[in-house]
């Protein structure tokens, strides 16, 4: 059974979300919610939105790895020429699942040749890799699975930093919630920045994390080091980055420690001095603003606590290997954001 082909201009874009046993629920539901919200906002403006379908080979009930059971449509209901976008979620058990799914891999290989674009969320990139869709392309996945993706598909240029990557008609995203960033970028490409921004506001998410923002931010690195005593301090630092006077004395007072004991304990727990930590937070914040805002470099320097453009330029070049203006310009062609953590 086939579905009536889409009209060229006025019909909604048809999206197939491809499921399989043990798929990750948030990989699926996050992007689905973005497209659902975008459709409502598009209709309010007299624009076509999206026609979304959750599918699987054979259709029927499919259980996510979290234990939620979904009803899915059979992929055979849809002719590939009628489909705009195919999105494949991931799973924590991706290697076993991919190896057990040769028919799904073959369906993806065949279908991708006819649809406008194919995307993966998280470890769904392994399905795209098995289908040959990443050959000679840049791609990303969850940071935990980066090494496996690189080893399994040596012809793929694996981006270890990116939140999502677009190359030609193929899009891949980092782990789990990065699928929301990917979906917002797809909506922006289809319906424009205003609708994508409205979706982000409705969903109370940050629009939009630059594609090349690191998956593993300075804040997350600090948290992973098991430093609960300093978690509140880190949030306070982020809220006060524009203040140039984030001194050791002030930070020590925030955690009720003497400056000497604080400096020693902080370096022992976090792995760098308090001053270096603040510098890293400032550089990362500057990277985000250079990519996502139209503020001048001097305005960004002051907002991030560097004081002035020249001081930011010196610090930025030491960490990033290029000036803020060069970084902003290179961002248009997808230079990865990768702060040198040894500096």
Q: Which is nearest to 48 in space by CA: 81, 82, 13, 14? A: 13
153-162 per-position pLDDT tens digit: 999 999 887 8
71-127 per-position pLDDT tens digit: 999 999 999 999 999 999 999 999 999 999 999 999 999 999 999 999 999 999 999
Examine the residue annotation and report whether 122 is marked as an active-site residue of this protein.
Answer: yes
Q: Would you state the pLDDT for residue 330?
A: 65
Of all residues in the chain, the percent with pLDDT exceeding 70 is 86
d(CA 309, CA 315): 10
Q: Would you state the pLDDT for residue 226?
A: 52
Lowest mean pLDDT among 10-24, 72-86, 188-202: 188-202
CB 21 within 8 A of CB 12: no
| Beta carbons within 8 Å of 333's beta carbon, 6+ residues apart | none
CATH top class, domain 218-331: mainly alpha
293-308 per-position pLDDT tens digit: 788 999 999 999 999 9
Q: Where in the chain is the domain with CATH 1.10.10.60?
A: 218-331
d(CA 246, CA 213): 25
Confidence of residue 4 (pLDDT cuts 50, 70, 90): very low
Other C-beta atoms lying within 10 Å of the C-beta of residue 194: 11
Q: Where in the chain is the domain with CATH 3.40.50.880?
A: 13-203
Q: What is the arithmetic mean of pLDDT over 44-65?
A: 96
d(CA 255, CA 275): 16
d(CA 40, CA 111): 28
Q: What are phi and psi of 13, to 5 degrees?
A: -80, 130
d(CA 24, CA 94): 10
Lowest mean pLDDT among 147-161, 187-201, 297-311: 187-201
Q: Would you state the pLDDT for residue 222?
A: 55
Task: For the chain, give the secondary structure using H, E and C.
Answer: CCCCCCCCCCCCEEEEEECCCCCCHHHHHHHHHHHHHHHHHHHHCCCCCEEEEEEECCCEEEECCCCCEEEEEEHHHCCHHHCCEEEECCCCCHHHHHHCCHHHHHHHHHHHCCCCEEEECHHHHHHHHHCCCCCCCEECCCHHHHHHHHHHCCCCEECCCCCEEEECCEEEECCCCHHHHHHHHHHHHHHCHHHHHHHHHHHCCCCCCCCCCCCCCHHHHHHHCCCHHHHHHHHHHHHCCCCCCCCHHHHHHHCCCCHHHHHHHHHHHHCCCHHHHHHHHHHHHHHHHHHHCCCCHHHHHHHCCCCCHHHHHHHHHHHHCCCHHHHHHHHCCCCCCCCCCCC
223-235 per-position pLDDT tens digit: 445 557 787 888 8
CB 38 within 8 A of CB 199: yes
Residue owning tokens 């040769």: 102
Q: What is the arithmetic mean of pLDDT over 310-315?
A: 93
CB 42 within 8 A of CB 192: no
| Beta carbons within 8 Å of 238's beta carbon, 6+ residues apart | 219, 281, 285
User: Active site residue: 37, 122, 287, 304, which one?
Assistant: 122
Task: Give the CATH number of domain 13-203.
Answer: 3.40.50.880
Q: Would you state the pLDDT for residue 227?
A: 57
CB 140 within 8 A of CB 165: yes
CB 13 within 8 A of CB 84: yes
């Amino acid at each position: 059974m086939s579905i009536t082909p889409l009209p060229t201009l006025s019909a909604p874009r048809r999206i197939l979300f491809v499921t399989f046993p043990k798929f990750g629920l948030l990989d699926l539901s996050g992007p689905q919610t973005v497209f659902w919200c975008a459709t409502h906002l598009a209709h309010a403006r007299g624009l076509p939105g999206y026609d979304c379908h959750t599918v699987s080979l054979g259709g029927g009930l499919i259980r996510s790895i979290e234990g939620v059971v979904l009803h899915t449509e059979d992929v055979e209901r849809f002719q590939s020429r009628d489909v705009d976008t195919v999105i494949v979620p991931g799973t924590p058990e991706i290697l076993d699942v991919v190896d057990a799914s040769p028919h799904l891999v073959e369906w993806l290989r065949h279908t991708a040749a006819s649809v406008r674009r194919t995307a993966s969320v998280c470890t769904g990139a392994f399905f795209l890799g098995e289908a040959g869709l990443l050959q000679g392309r840049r791609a990303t996945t969850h940071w935990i699975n980066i090494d496996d993706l690189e080893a399994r598909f040596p012809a793929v240029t694996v981006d270890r930093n990116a939140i999502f990557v677009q190359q030609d008609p193929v899009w891949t995203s980092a782990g789990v919630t990065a699928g929301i960033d990917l979906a917002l970028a797809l909506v922006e490409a289809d319906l424009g920045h205003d609708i994508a921004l409205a979706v982000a506001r409705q969903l109370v998410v940050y629009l939009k994390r630059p594609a090349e923002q690191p998956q593993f931010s300075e804040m997350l690195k600090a948290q992973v080091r098991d430093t609960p005593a300093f978690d509140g301090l880190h949030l306070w630092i982020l809220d006060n980055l524009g203040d140039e006077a984030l001194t050791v004395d002030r930070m020590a007072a925030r955690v009720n420690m003497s400056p000497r004991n604080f400096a020693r304990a902080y370096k022992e727990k976090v792995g760098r001095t308090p001053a270096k930590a603040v510098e890293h937070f400032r550089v990362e914040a500057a990277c985000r603003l250079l990519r996502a805002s139209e503020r001048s470099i001097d305005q960004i320097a002051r907002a991030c606590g560097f004081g002035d453009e020249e001081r930011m330029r010196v610090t930025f070049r030491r960490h990033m290997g290029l000036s803020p203006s060069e970084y902003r310009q290179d961002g248009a062609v997808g230079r990865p954001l990768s702060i040198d953590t040894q500096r």
